[in-house]
Amino acid sequence: MSDHVPNKFVSWQYENCLACKWFRPADPINADLFERGACVEPSLKKFNLVISGRDWCNKYEEIEQKQIDKMQEKAMAKEG
């Protein structure tokens, strides 16, 4: 038996903007930790913050898989 741990596709990580339900990545399909995007958290939205996937703040709320799916489906539909 090998100790090799298979590489997983690291896309949506835990407890950073990338994994936060308020993050709106510029490119939801290929979003990774370096992805730039907007924060639409109700009290922060007005500041038009440009954040990256590896940022974080204390308003963090974990995103649900169905929201990720929805954003990606929408982006794919746009790409045609």
Positions in the binding site for ligand SF4 (CB under 6 A): 17, 20, 22-23, 39, 41, 44, 51, 55-57, 59-60
- Bridge-based pairing state of the strands 23-25 and 36-39: antiparallel
Min. distance of Cβ 66 from ligand SF4 in angstroms? 18
Min. distance of Cβ 75 from ligand SF4 in angstroms? 17
Per the DSSP assignment, residues forming a β-bridge with 36 are: 52
Beta-carbon count within 10 A of 18 CB = 26
Could you give the C-alpha distances from 3 to 7, 44, 58, in angstroms and in order? 12, 44, 37
- CB nearer to ligand SF4: give 13 or 77: 13
- CB nearer to ligand SF4: give 35 or 55: 55
